Amino acid sequence: MDLEEAKRLAREGLLDLYSPLRMPMVMVRGEGARLWDSEGREYLDFVSGGRAVTGVGHCHPKVVAAMREQAGALVHVSNDFYTEPQLRLAQRLSALFGGRCFFCNSGAEAIEAAIKLGRKHGYQTAGSEKCEIVSALNSFHGRTFAALAATGQPKYHRGFQPLPAGFLHVPFNDVEALRGAVTPRTCAVLLEPILGESGVYPADPEYLAAARKFCNAHSAALILDEVQTGLGRTGKMFAYQHYDMEPDIIALAKGLAGGVPIGAMVAREPFAGAFEPYDHASTFGGSPLPAAAALAVLEVIEEEHLVENAARIGRRLAEGLEALREKMPLVKRIRARGLMIAVDLARPVAGEVKRRCAAKGLLVNTVGDSMLRLLPPLVLSEEQADRGLGILSEILATVAQQ
């Protein structure tokens, strides 16, 4: 399929939701940290398939083999039945985090489940008045209604009001604002350990420590949205492990099954016990096929030491970008935690940089007009990291001269 045919079919068959984001290419194949389009052009993928999804790379042989084997045996049965892939996956995630799992199909669904669980526990402990969810300004938690209400960005709310009630937003990393917002009415505090969609802003250690303290004081759940940060991206299996605290509930998705849709909410006691039969459900949640893919992804992360690789290659990229910043005024600031990196630019040229990088064979993401976001797969090699830095350096130098 060529590009013009793809555009025509999109106009005719798809709701117009993604056209401002679409790059002028039809992707047909992927391997590791590389992609190829329908014209045979090769790209170095510094977005992991788009927003941190293909953490173990495109079409990892072990993940593909697990999916093929499972697809030939059993693709789907509902949660009216037990299946081994789902149970083994729950066992693995519980061993990594503790607690028990609920499986769904996306990060937004995992957040919805976490919100419902926090509300249910609040209701059980103090009645319907204990219902408020506190989250951060500039956060992003998804586009379903409760996840959207928790998202602290009014631009995503416009046209969809009234949103579900009971959500409060406070400035990120503001301990005093958080202290004032968490009250006996609070059933949960929902935070990203690193603001991802807004541009890779890590939580201060004292901020997450305060969130833990305030939740303890008011019997509220501390929920961490690890949809983008989880599963090795930051150089730890979970981003909260960079901090001296632990959450009650985490939400996972994106990188969990190597590109196959799956989400997971993992909850510790006493919150895990708040859900009773029929309180929540998902038709496809934890189906054998995505569960088998997720199991293979977790095995690859462990066997290939990808958490350690993310930390090592992330440092290499951050150091290279800092060297660019020192000699290039266009580059204002670098924020990095493992393979989750933001590059602030001095002028609103991020879109131009993104387009020029793609033309040279490097795929990057933008946040607004003046920020680049890099989310390479965890399998990125030193050679690929250096090649990507070389392309980005060349493009930034060209744009800076204009």
Supply the residues annotated as catalytic.
140, 225, 254
What is the identity of the amino acid at 320?
G
Please tell me the distance from the alpha carbon of residue 288 to that of residue 294, in angstroms, as a whole number: 10
User: Which whole-number Å values give the CA distances from 272 to 7, 98, 186, 238, 247, in the listed order?
Assistant: 46, 11, 17, 19, 12
Structure tokens at 190: 């929902």
**What φ, ψ does residue 345 adopt, rounded to 5°?**
-110, 150
CB under 8 Å to 155, separation ≥6 — which residues? none
Helix, strand or coil, per DSSP, at residue 260? coil
Structure tokens at 91: 């066992």
Q: Which residues of 319-356 are buried (b: 16+ CB within 10 A; e: fewer)?
A: ebbeebbeebebbeebbbbbbbbbbbbeeebbebbbeb
Q: Classify burial at 76, counting beta carbons within 10 Å of its beta carbon; exposed 0-12, middle 13-18, buried 19 or more.
A: exposed
Please tell me the distance from the alpha carbon of residue 16 to that of residue 370, in angstroms, as a whole number: 25
- DSSP secondary structure code for residue 132 in this structure: E
Please tell me the distance from the alpha carbon of residue 388 to that of residue 374, in angstroms, as a whole number: 10
Q: Classify burial at 172, counting beta carbons within 10 Å of its beta carbon; exposed 0-12, middle 13-18, buried 19 or more.
A: buried
Write down the H helix ranges in 172-250: 175-181, 205-217
Q: What is the DSSP string of 49-69?
A: IIII--TT-BT-HHHHHHHHH
Residues written for the chain: 402
Q: Residue 140: which of 127, 164, 122, 157 has the closest Cα?
A: 157
Please tell me the distance from the alpha carbon of residue 309 to that of residue 325, in angstroms, as a whole number: 24
Please tell me the distance from the alpha carbon of residue 37 to that of residue 39, in angstroms, as a whole number: 5
